[in-house]
Amino acid sequence: MSDLLVIAERRGNEIHSSTFELLGKARELSIKRPLTVSVVVLSDKPVEEDSANSLFSGGADRIILAVDRSFSRFNFEPYTKTLASIVREFAPEIVLAPATTSGRTYMPGLAALLKTGLTADCTGLDIEEETGNLLQTRPAIGGNIMATIKTPNHRPQMATVRPKTFSALKEAYESKSELVNFEVTPDLTQTEAKLIEFHPIGAGQKGVQDAEVIIAGGMGLRKVENMEPIFRLSKMINGTVGASRKIVDSKWIGHEAQVGLSGHTVKPKIYIAAGISGAVQHIAGMQTAEFIVAINRDRNAAIFNFADIGLVGDAVEILNELAKSLESEVKR
């Protein structure tokens, strides 16, 4: 039986939800072609029992645990060299990782070390039963077409997948529950890079990929000062600020807030799009939101085709009115 390897994403001491999404997809692929699903965890401390149990019930047959103090924060060289050593030892047919900031960083380096290909930012995965070729689907040409890519001549087949693309298992998987401790030798953690200092961005606020409520701004806001009611509303409703690509390119806000094909794919309970026209690249990143509210002066804007509620009017004026109404309710 061949191996499928999922590389776990950690956020602090927690296993990120994107890991369970990939495990769910891995189990789906294993129905078509028998696969042992392993999950690799790089950590500075042993995995707690609850975390291990959640990985097993989430779809893993095996946990490969690599523990070293150099993994307390993401570090490119120790990560890629250790992962390459693990892949060489277990020889998986497929290697999957979340297309997070860290996944997008180490996976190209890992593919280079292993002399194989990598398909980045996939939004669909399937497998050919006979050949074991992974069918890796991703947007191409600015999101105007969907390309399906194969890697028939090299193994392992490697792909990163956008978080929120797939779903975790709804029912607990009855796992084989094999825990393997991988020895991290000193040569694997040697690096010339040194952490000088660390400044967290948006401490206390969830990133857009993890947020349940997102208020996103677009160029319909006209100027950077008009982002203020979005930040004000976001604090009042415990939401997270998002943005279109043009807002980010204009440096009104950092890339961490960008929603869309060249940013983040999100799946919140509520998505409020203020002054966003609804370009296909942006829609691809937020259309799976449970409830979408669109605010735009142009009643023909494409965003209204995807909205549950559409408000036609000046986004800045409407946002300010919403903020005032909420503030008056809080004061009562």
Q: What digits encode the pLDDT tens for the residues 317-329?
A: 999 998 888 877 6
**What CA–CA distance (Å, rounded) separates 286 from 145?**
18
* Closest among 221, 216, 244 to 231, alpha carbons compared: 216
pLDDT at 177 over 90: no
> Model-level pTM?
0.76
Task: Kindly report the backbone phi and psi dihedral angles of residue 29, in degrees, each rounded to the nearest multiple of 5, phi listed first.
Answer: -65, -35
pLDDT at 332 over 70: no
Sign, CA dihedral 14-17-19-20, equals positive
Judge whether 47 and 63 are in contact, CB under 8 Å: yes
**What CA–CA distance (Å, rounded) separates 1 from 4?**
10
**What CA–CA distance (Å, rounded) separates 38 from 59?**
9
- pLDDT computed for residue 318 by the predictor: 93
Three-state DSSP class for residue 329: helix
Q: What digits encode the pLDDT tens for the residues 137-172?
A: 887 766 667 889 998 899 999 999 988 888 899 889
Ordered domains of the chain (ranges, CATH): 2-189 (3.40.50.620), 213-331 (3.40.50.1220)
Binding residue ranges: 244-245, 258-262, 275-282, 296
* Two structure tokens written together for 215: 């208020």
* Closest among 328, 331, 323, 294 to 309, alpha carbons compared: 294
Banded model confidence at residue 195, pLDDT cuts 50, 70, 90: confident
Banded model confidence at residue 203, pLDDT cuts 50, 70, 90: very low
- Dihedral, 231, 212, 272, 226 alpha carbons, nearest 10: 10
Binding residue ranges for FAD: 244-245, 258-262, 275-282, 296
- Residue whose entry in the numeric block shows the structure tokens 């600015």: 142
* Mean pLDDT, residues 191-208 taken together: 71
Banded model confidence at residue 1, pLDDT cuts 50, 70, 90: low
